[in-house]
Structure 1
Amino acid sequence: MKKLAVVFVLVFTIVSCKKEAKKDVKQKEVVEIKESKFPSELHKVFQFHGGISNWKSNHLLSFNINDETHTVALQSRKTVINAPKYSLGFDGNQFWLDEENDGDYKGNPKFYYNLYFYFYAMPFVLGDNGIVYEKAEDLVFENVKYPGFKISYKANIGNSSNDNYIVYYNPETYKMEWLAYTVTFNSKTSSNRYNWIKYKKWENVNGFLLPNEIIWYAQDKNGLPTKPVGNSVKFTLPLISKTKMANSFFEKPKG
């Protein structure tokens, strides 16, 4: 019953947010971001996808992956993931897991709670504080050259400050095309081994170009992408809004 209550609150909120989104067309809350903070090319990537200032004026992001509903407070990064047999999240202080039966969730909530948020909120999460930017070597794939920027983090930023990302974009349109990333959550040490994601499809969500489908790629001996591997991940029921959720929404259900 407690999960049904959480899902009901989420559905009610999404409906309310969609109503508010219509109002947003007339009333825009804009947070000014200094363009000099970012490399000029990366700023153009942000602009193509909807603008970093516009993005930072929003407070709520929600999307579905299969039977999971991911809801994120954009300013605090508090998170709730609801599924039929479990829910997990981050309330701003601690990570939590709530299962109907022990073992319903397979994984590590601390690692998983924001994993797909980072992939979905690209490229805008690359405008967070504490990031260091440097030009990366171009990616050449199927005779197309994609410029890129490497993103690293200052010490003690987030749970995996040793993670690195490289965003690659179309040199003519500045649309994001590829993401290379390392995973250092378990080792806590930096890595030179990158994983590759191709951003296959995008969709307009309230003025922002957000991913609709992504797929991982295998890599050759030089660490460069070769061909798709596994199934693609599709994001559905997207929502971005200026609505602020109560802190209690992100807390572990009681009872």
Structure 2
Amino acid sequence: MKKLTLLVFVVSSFIACKQETKSNKESIVKENAQEQTIPDRSKNFPKDITAVFKAHGGIQKFDQMNTLTFELSNPEGNETHITDLKTRHARIETNKFVLGFDGNDAWLVQDSAYFKGNPRFYHNLMFYFYAMPFVLGDDGISYEKADDLKVGEIVYPGYKISYGDGVGDSPKDNYFIYFDKDSQQMKYLGYTVTFFSKESSEKISLIEYSDWDKVNGLLLPKTLKWRKYQDGVVGEVKSERNFVNITVSEEKTSSLLFKKPAEEIKKTL
């Protein structure tokens, strides 16, 4: 009888242990599943802005991505831009210089004085233009209806985007997004530059988003055209930039990529 009682106890304990282990595994699986679930922020924005996001693949789809890479075409050699979409750490590689941002400092490595700009200003400049309209879903942004933009006989509805105090390096910047009424796709972007003056500006530059490329479910620009723009009148194309070899991925990039290269690496650039 004692042996039978002991056997029942051992079997019961074994079953209970297996059930507990199974329960723990299920709990871990559920926890991991919850960690991988990306919340849908669509309702956080004005209806028109949400519609624009949707026309470009959706803000939730963009939020699933971790790394964006593109090359900016340049006759002297393309610029490869790599951005961590969660931290906004950045790296720009060319055959003449390497520039980056590690979350605290912007850095520049080059043998000559080829790059004469401000690394802090430039490290995310083209990324910001390129990742439109999705970067207009960042925290700390306010939206208000803007006057329509008329180009020829076509009228584009628009929104003004402004930032809260202390948001980014240039919180006094303003953006103006204009979209096609039928497709809801972004068509024009107006913007001001206050990085250097730190003062509000009434001077608005205008970019036309002329064509798009679908990359991993997202509609991203292939060509940006800067247009003459004064007193609400859109003029001819002044310049354009083209983007190639675009990838956007859920894969995360090591933070080491965004650190300033060691001294011995500088000599190879």
TM-score by length of 1: 0.86
SS of match in other structure, 1:235: strand
One-letter amino acid matched to 1:226 = G
- Hey, what's the Cα distance between the residues in 1 that align with 2:200 and 2:154? 29
1:46 lines up with 2:56 in the alignment:
no
- Choose 1 or 2 for highest CA Rg: 2
Q: How far is 1:110 from its partner?
A: 0.6
- Hey, what's the Cα distance between the residues in 2 that align with 1:234 and 1:82? 16
Match of 1:7 in 2: none
One-letter amino acid matched to 2:110 = E
1:122 lines up with 2:129 in the alignment:
no
Deviation readout 1:197-240 (Å, 9 max, x if unpaired): 001111111111000001101123x143211113x100010000
Deviation readout 1:12-32 (Å, 9 max, x if unpaired): xxxxxxxxxxxxxxxxx6522
- Hey, what's the Cα distance between the residues in 1 that align with 2:89 and 2:42? 27
- Hey, what's the Cα distance between the residues in 2 that align with 1:182 and 1:223? 14
Q: CA RMSD in A?
A: 1.0
Q: Identity over the aligned pairs, expressed in percent?
A: 42
Which structure has more relative contact order (CA 8 Å, sep 6+)? It is 1
Unmatched segments (≥5 aa) in structure 1: 1-28
SS of match in other structure, 2:220: strand
Q: Match for 1:92 among 82, 87, 103? A: 103
SS of match in other structure, 1:249: helix
Q: How far is 1:193 from its partner?
A: 1.3
Match of 2:250 in 1: 242
136 and 87 in structure 1: CA distance in 2 versus 1, 3 angstrom threshold: same
Match of 1:226 in 2: 235
Unmatched segments (≥5 aa) in structure 2: 1-35, 264-269
133 and 90 in structure 1: CA distance in 2 versus 1, 3 angstrom threshold: same
TM-score by length of 2: 0.81
Q: Match for 1:35 among 29, 42, 46? A: 42
Q: How far is 1:37 from its partner?
A: 1.1
1:75 lines up with 2:82 in the alignment:
no
Provide runs of 4+ in structure 1 moved above 4 Å: none
Q: How many pairs align?
A: 224
